[in-house]
Chains A and B, each alone.
Chain A
Amino acid sequence: MSPRLKISNYVIERLSNIDTNETTGCLYGLMYDGTLLVVGLSLELFENEKNTYRQLLLNLPAEIELCGVVRFGESLTTGTTMKEILQDVDITDNPLVMIVNEKKEMKTHFLVHDKFEETKYEVLSTDEMWKQFLHVRLNTILPLTCEATISGVKNILQNKRKKIASGQVSFHVDGTSVYLFGVASDVGLTGTSTEATIGELVDSMSPEQPKKKKHNTNTVEIVPINLVLKTTKDILSDKLVKTAVKMMTTQRKPAFCISMPLRIDTLAIIHRNTKLLELYTVLVEAACRSLRLLESILIEQLGQEGIGDGAGLRLPETFHFLPQELGHFVTRVVPKAIPDESMEKERRLLHEQLGLPLNRPLFRRGNAYSDKTGGRLVNPHEAIPQQPLKPDVTVALVRGRYTYHHYMQDNFNDDGWGCAYRSMQTIFSWFRFQGYTTVDIPTHRDIQQCLVNIGDKQPSFLGSKQWIGSTEVMFCLETLLSVQSRIIFANTGAELQSYAHDLVHHFQTHGSPIMIGGGVLAHTILGVEYNSATNDIRYLILDPHYTGAEDLSTVISKGWCGWKNSDFWNKTAHYNLCLPQTKPAI
């Protein structure tokens, strides 16, 4: 029987927007409860043998597997490449073949006994996707010592994979007493009921969660897991070898070896109803996937000239990315301290393979998904209840992540004068999160120092409590980030109204937060809503004058982050806006 079919809304969106010359793509999905859920897609770039779907799979969370192909065109023809791909589908006996024609109409077929059977599909909405699925993230460090050769690395990593798959490892859910055991133990699970699901465990870990969830449905839930290795043998096992400890030393010609802490950081996506007992094999697969990915990066480095002997080998570092349009994680491993700039080629290929825009970075280190924000709130505006879309209304919002910077943070009292500095920091955080820079967010003093350095301010400005305005923000962005800004002057608050199109255009093309200052206090604009029928404009404002704690519900309910009508602006005061511009980059 062929499975039921669901397709994530992200995939539908991407297929409708995709503009490609390729004829074939791969579909990736996961099975749960008799249902095949398609969560991702890639384009087959045949001119590039390295970027195949097999390699790409290593970059996806465990449980996601190749599940079929997508053809761009009218007819249901099977080429040789398509057949080859379909043969690699292991997740189901009935690979999926999808047709997307020029009108972006989509048809789905299961391949059943070499015949296509058209099948219906259900679209899984974005909200449902994040509600029903969660991620487990396995973190551990394997000490790795081996010969500094390609075969040395291959051997040792194969051994590590064998060890992990041998059932000797156990997984521990961080912060709980839940341990999952492998086949080498007679118990599968301890610390909770054997019937428990991962969803139940997550809910029990944080009882306040349900309240928060109402606010923020799009939060990605990630359960942290670590790994422990069984170092004792089972006494009851018949295969018990009891040879006493011994040491064998083998002499070699002096050779070179490498030693490093190999950090495994890997994800798996699972349905909330998955039993904890079933999680073991998922985690083993996740760990092995990570080891293969790490291996490919180590070997690639060893194969390079100059590094060939291992002396210049760099520690592989893992980053997870969750680009908004993708709807699933992509994990990349990059050699430590190699600047993002010199890895643009690889990133470009990845963008092309995933059909992502080529005008902004998505896979630089700064783009990496991170829940460490120094305690600051990330994208508080996403917690504002969304209003139903109305015709004639255009909404354009900040694109990507930023952190909310406001008064009194970092134990620094800037109440009354630091609002523009904080707004600048929010903008800066946006540039960091979007991967444009890895420069640290400047402190008030850093900003003042910058302005003194470029001669805009006298040295006495340093350490003062003087205000800054939009032009200063522009200067700093240019000096620290080489980011150019457009400045808009509005003589009165009323005149702001006439720049609605400029603001919409700004958010649609650049997507960066806007700083607004002038005769009055500074604010950050995160979005704009324009009603072409009534000419009404509303602004999504992030207020840096907030002095309270990092509490999302206060920030939202008291309007420190929220939609403001035009009367928010002082009719008589003048305003300067700093619109940071982005340059096309990957």
Chain B
Amino acid sequence: MVRTVYSPEYCLQYLEQYASKEIFVIGLILGQSTESRENIIHLARTPDEKSSENPSETSYDSEKLESKTLLNVSEAWVADHAKHVTRMLPGGMFVQGIFITSDEDIFEDPNSFSKVKSVVNHIHKVMSANQYMFGDCTFSNERLILHMSTSTKVLTCKSLEVGTPAKITSIKPVEWKFLPKAQQWQRLDCYYEFDDVYPVIVKKSGISVKQQFQQILESAHKTIESSIMFIDGELKENTEVLEQILKKKKLPKTHSKVQHQELPKSMNVSLFVPFENSLPESVEYLECDGSIHFSGVVSSSVFMFPKATVGETIAAVKQDIIRSLASRFTMHCDALIDDNLLPEEKVCFNEPPRRVLVPVGSLYLCDYLFPGEAPAEALLSVRELLDLQITEAEVVCDVETPADTSEFDALDKDTSSEELLATPQEASQFMYITGIFFAMFVLIVSIIVHYYDAINELFSKFVS
């Protein structure tokens, strides 16, 4: 049977818009593969290399684009695009391949085809570098190549196997179907909570924030992989289909007085972690140099094809939490100036960017905002990386809230009061110095002193 993928119809207009301009465009195919069906959710043109270095300039400089051809596309650039876009995808969604609009037949012209292979394989290589990003679709290793000829407007789709020696590339035809109606998605939400305190052992793990985040990621991955998932409070068989669960639920209508169905289409996911023993059966005695409190939530919203199975859904939710954690950590660490867990200050605060949701078609992808960034920042990445225009009002910013300092103060209460507080600078680094508090104290005291003098004056006047 020929592999078939289903795509929203606006993707056709999207392709035609570029094809009709008779320009070469390369971009990514985003979608979800399940046993029951493969759905494409979006096509995202890879931004132009030069203009993206300077994102304030318009990237729609058609003059420049016209001069671009497939053969001078940088594989690394497209792969980088794929890397950034993956951060915006919820679990269960992947970069499924690439699309190209050009006048040559990329499948027939050997030079073009070898370039296509090279791009796809480069993406594969980059995406599989970080396992916690779940960039590389595990479902299959056949990537989609969608081509629209700028001259004939003919659409051809094939699949190409990645990660195999160049000579035995298998290429297969793929049927690409457009759905007139918007695809329905089953949304599943959860808030995964972290609240862990552990010692900093410099001798063992150093003082790198990056490394610390990596360790947190590794342990979170282990924990989440081992967790048991409930959908709407119930344990489901891996083979059950999401749609069926909903149907079953509707059956007992007798006491359907349950009014709190504000999110009628969304299912609640809860994860339970068994305690498994990975520690040695002994007491470890360690010299520690401080403590780490890692806390907060990762909000997770995944979108599944309603015919997807519970097993596929569980995998998607788990992927989503880890991918989101990995994305924030990478973004945070890329913006770090001082990769030091224990700087001069006694308390150090690392606040990675938080997740916001951005609408794409009938579902939501996500973006990350550093503390202090406005939702408008998300518009930029959506335009740059997804080639999509959305309005600020459409960005869902309240799935997570930035850490406020009052909470931080509360956390700090159990540590010594004379400590200096610091948060990373630049993107997310701010410094709070207890000196400020001290200054305020001095101010208050001086006001009282001042007032006292006034009283004294009054009093002495009265006496005299």
Contacts and interface: CB of A to CB of B under 8 A. Distances in A.
A196 interface: no
Interface residues of B, number: 83
Contact of B213 (A187, A247, A263): A247
A191 B234 CA distance: 8
A420 to B, nearest CB: 38
Contacts of A251: 200, 289-290, 342, 345-348
Interface in B342-375: 342, 345-355
A246 B284 contact: no
Contacts of B62: none
B288 A256 contact: yes
A252 interface: yes
B231 to A, nearest CB: 11
Given A227-B274, A259-B279, A246 B403 contact: yes
A484 B279 CA distance: 43
A186 B233 contact: yes
B419 interface: yes
Interface in A162-215: 170, 172, 177, 179, 181, 185-187, 190-191
Contact of A247 (B216, B353, B399, B404): B216
B273 A228 contact: yes
B325 interface: yes
A194 to B, nearest CB: 12
Q: Which of A170, A231, A232, A261 has the most CB of B within 10 A?
A: A232
Contact of B272 (A140, A231, A263, A314): A231
B148 interface: no
Given A244-B403, A249-B347, A228 B325 contact: no
A246 B412 CA distance: 14
Interface in A380-407: none
A231 B282 contact: no
Contact of A250 (B282, B297, B353, B415): B415
Nearest to B270: A232
A220 interface: no
Given A232-B192, A247-B350, A261-B277, A242 B398 contact: yes
Contacts of A310: 283, 285
A298 B273 CA distance: 26
B341 interface: yes
A56 interface: no
B64 interface: no
B268 A235 contact: yes
Given A140-B275, A170-B272, A231-B273, A249 B348 contact: yes
B211 interface: no
B294 A245 contact: yes
B287 A260 contact: no
Nearest to B276: A141
Interface stretch (A114-122, A142-150, A435-443, A485-493): A142-150
B181 interface: no
B18 interface: no
B230 interface: yes
Given A185-B233, A229-B272, A244 B352 contact: yes
Contact of B285 (A240, A244, A263, A311): A311
A243 B402 contact: yes
Contacts of B434: none
A338 interface: no
A45 interface: no
Interface in A240-295: 240-252, 254-261, 263
Nearest to B415: A250
B291 A231 contact: no
B286 A256 contact: yes
A226 interface: yes
A50 interface: no
Contacts of A179: 230, 235, 272
B1 interface: no
Interface string A220-238: 0000001111111111100
B57 to A, nearest CB: 31
A100 interface: no
B355 A244 contact: yes
A106 interface: no
A560 B260 CA distance: 66
A260 B285 CA distance: 9
A245 B371 CA distance: 12
Contacts of A378: none
A243 B288 contact: no
B293 A247 contact: yes
Interface string A126-147: 0000000000000011110100
Contact of A231 (B193, B353, B354): B193
B198 interface: yes
A261 B275 CA distance: 10
Contact of A243 (B200, B274, B407): B407
A313 B283 contact: yes
Contacts of B400: 242-244
B14 interface: no
B299 A242 contact: yes
Given A141-B275, A236-B268, A249 B290 contact: yes
Contacts of B269: 232
Contacts of A240: 191
B51 interface: no
Contacts of A521: none
Given A145-B198, A190-B234, A236 B260 contact: yes
Nearest to B199: A257
A310 B287 CA distance: 11
Contacts of A227: 274-275
B140 interface: no
B341 A249 contact: yes
A63 B268 CA distance: 34
Contacts of A249: 200, 212, 290-293, 341-342, 347-348, 350
A254 B287 contact: yes
B297 A252 contact: no
A89 interface: no
Interface string B74-109: 000000000000000000000000000000000000
Q: Which of A145, A245, A310 has the most CB of B within 10 A?
A: A245
Contact of A252 (B260, B277, B289, B407): B289
Nearest to B346: A251
21 contacts: A172-B274, A186-B233, A227-B274, A228-B228, A230-B272, A231-B273, A232-B190, A232-B192, A232-B269, A243-B400, A245-B296, A245-B328, A246-B351, A249-B292, A249-B347, A250-B290, A252-B291, A255-B287, A257-B285, A261-B279, A315-B283
For the complex of A and B, list the 6 residue pairs with the smallest distance between their C-beta atoms, beginning with the closest. A244-B354, A245-B296, A228-B272, A187-B233, A261-B279, A233-B191
